[in-house]
A and B are shown apart, each in its own frame.
Chain A
Amino acid sequence: MVSNLLIPPWFPPPAPRLADKRSAPLFRYSYVLADGEHEDRTRVICNLPLRNAREEKAFKAVIAFVRNQQEEGIGVTGYTFSASDTFYGYWWDGDRGRWVEDKIVLLMIDYQISLGDPEARSLSEQISDLKEKIAAAYKHYGCKQDEVWVVSNPISRYL
């Protein structure tokens, strides 16, 4: 049995009114979401190795491909990538039984399509094409990768 003395008088905090949603605490984000002041997007993050000249050539080919996607009207209006020699990735090579170190460039692309939308299937295809393009670029410049990590996350962009 919990004594009333252990419950502070301010608990539970009162729910803010809708008129006060601007001043509502952040953990009550559902009020903001319900009002539609955000848009659903999909963030695709690619871990691209960049350790030598050949991989830099492949990286610039990927960047050129991403920029060309803006013309296809699938919602690619921006991308972000990190500077080289900033991130170090380690992945387990099961065949050789050891950790492999990579110098990684993080490439983040925000698609203006939600994974939950009916068009999510086409977005999934776009992401698959992106991954195939990345693999082809590295292969073209003679630095074929066993695997390139490409993931997608649903995100909400607040307006």
Chain B
Amino acid sequence: MTTLFRRPGADALCVPRCDWIAGRAGGRSVEDAAKNRRKYPTRTGRVFMPFGGPPRPIGTSLLPHCVPQDGPARRERDARHGRVPDGQAPAAEYGPLRLSPHSFRVTAITDLREQGVPLQVDRFLCDSVFRGKLLMTTSSKKLKAQRGRGFVPTVLELQDDKGITRRIPLPQTGSIERMSSWKRNLHVYQQQSALRFSSEDKLDEFIDGVWSDPSLRDMPRAHVGDNTVIVPTEAVELLRDLCGFEFVDSPVVPAACAPPRR
């Protein structure tokens, strides 16, 4: 139940912010309102709401995220718009590449017949072929282990029957950039690895690739000369397998584990 009140000097009635959020999020009860109030606290606790409809004050952009991306609401929305949920849709429903970073599931569909090459997935995640088109999802343990570590794959690597490798860049959107959650300090990561490149040009390519990838730009790294850079160990596999960098990695022994000579 929403209680309207009039603020001093205001021409319109106001509602408590918790009730407004509960209404926007689909809440119906006082318990929902209290729950959302804990979830979206504000300094004032109230929001101005004229009769023409609630304005959208700064700081309320969290509201769309109340709706689960893969929950019943999404299924209802898909059915309302005539869409078929992921995993059941024919490939033609989607574009050439599709990313759903909220569920961290990458669905990539390429029309193999248009390319004229019967591609097979070599070493990227798990795959299935649907109506002659390649459907790739990241339901493998490999990407699940990468989930939440600030990495978003940027390149799909495919290999055909002749052994020719093709790299398909994935689109980078603003929503994906938010997935970058690297810690700024390299020493926060307990395990670090030294990546040694064969030449300075290779190292320069690595630097260019890191800066051009929004999900890798903030990855902590330290240059130590000799074409070597130190990165968190959990980034090694990602940089090699998915980004295609060629290097020789070796573990870095932390100072605490070194013999007490100095």
Contact assessment for A64 and B186 in the assembled complex, using a CB-CB cutoff below 8 Å:
no
Contact assessment for B208 and A53 in the assembled complex, using a CB-CB cutoff below 8 Å:
yes
Please measure, in the bound complex, the distance between the C-alpha atom of A52 and the C-alpha atom of B186, giving whole angstroms.
Answer: 19
Contact of B184 among A52, A59, A60, A83 (CB under 8 A): A83
Q: Residue B229 at the A interface, CB < 8 A?
A: yes
Q: Residue A56 at the B interface, CB < 8 A?
A: yes
Binds A, one of B101-109, B118-126, B138-146, B218-226: B218-226
Please measure, in the bound complex, the distance between the C-alpha atom of A9 and the C-alpha atom of B238, giving whole angstroms.
Answer: 70
Contact assessment for B185 and A53 in the assembled complex, using a CB-CB cutoff below 8 Å:
no
- CB neighbours (8 Å) of B208 from chain A are 53
Please measure, in the bound complex, the distance between the C-alpha atom of A14 and the C-alpha atom of B6, giving whole angstroms.
Answer: 74
Q: Which residue of A lies closest to B187 (CB)?
A: A83
- CB neighbours (8 Å) of A57 from chain B are 204, 207
Interface string of A47-73 (1 = CB under 8 A from B): 000001100110110011011100000
Please measure, in the bound complex, the distance between the C-alpha atom of A56 and the C-alpha atom of B185, giving whole angstroms.
Answer: 17
Within 8 A of A (CB), among B197-217: 203-204, 207-208, 210-212
- CB neighbours (8 Å) of B186 from chain A are 83
5 contacts between A and B (CB under 8 A): A53-B210, A60-B207, A60-B223, A63-B225, A83-B185
Task: Given the known inter-chain contacts A64-B225, A67-B225, A67-B226, please indicate yes or no for A56 contacting B220, CB distance below 8 A.
Answer: no
Give the distance to chain B from A110, nearest Cβ to Cβ, in Å.
15
Contact assessment for B229 and A60 in the assembled complex, using a CB-CB cutoff below 8 Å:
yes
Give the distance to chain A from B46, nearest Cβ to Cβ, in Å.
37
- CB neighbours (8 Å) of B212 from chain A are 53
Please measure, in the bound complex, the distance between the C-alpha atom of A67 and the C-alpha atom of B220, giving whole angstroms.
Answer: 21
Contact assessment for B220 and A83 in the assembled complex, using a CB-CB cutoff below 8 Å:
yes
Total A-B residue contacts, Cβ distance less than 8 Å: 35
Q: Which residue of B lies closest to A56 (CB)?
A: B207
Q: A: which residues have CB within 8 A of B?
A: 52-53, 56-57, 59-60, 63-64, 66-68, 83, 85-86
- CB neighbours (8 Å) of B224 from chain A are 63, 67
Q: Which residue of B lies closest to A68 (CB)?
A: B225
- CB neighbours (8 Å) of B220 from chain A are 83
Give the distance to chain B from A66, nearest Cβ to Cβ, in Å.
8
Please measure, in the bound complex, the distance between the C-alpha atom of A59 and the C-alpha atom of B211, giving whole angstroms.
Answer: 14
- CB neighbours (8 Å) of B210 from chain A are 53
Contact assessment for A59 and B223 in the assembled complex, using a CB-CB cutoff below 8 Å:
yes
Contact assessment for B207 and A53 in the assembled complex, using a CB-CB cutoff below 8 Å:
yes
Q: Which residue of B lies closest to A62 (CB)?
A: B223
Task: Given the known inter-chain contacts A60-B229, A83-B185, please indicate yes or no for A53 contacting B223, CB distance below 8 A.
Answer: no
Besides the contacts A60-B203, A60-B229, what 15 more A-B pairs have beta carbons closer than 8 Å?
A53-B207, A53-B208, A53-B210, A53-B212, A57-B204, A60-B223, A60-B225, A63-B223, A64-B223, A64-B226, A66-B225, A68-B225, A83-B184, A83-B185, A86-B184
Give the distance to chain B from A15, nearest Cβ to Cβ, in Å.
35
Please measure, in the bound complex, the distance between the C-alpha atom of A66 and the C-alpha atom of B225, giving whole angstroms.
Answer: 9
- CB neighbours (8 Å) of A64 from chain B are 223, 225-226
- CB neighbours (8 Å) of A56 from chain B are 207, 211, 223
Q: Which residue of A lies closest to B203 (CB)?
A: A60
Q: Which residue of A lies closest to B224 (CB)?
A: A63
- CB neighbours (8 Å) of A68 from chain B are 225
Q: Which 10 A-B pairs have the closest CB atoms?
A: A53-B211, A60-B223, A67-B225, A64-B225, A63-B223, A53-B207, A53-B208, A56-B207, A63-B225, A57-B204
- CB neighbours (8 Å) of A59 from chain B are 223
Q: Which residue of A lies closest to B186 (CB)?
A: A83
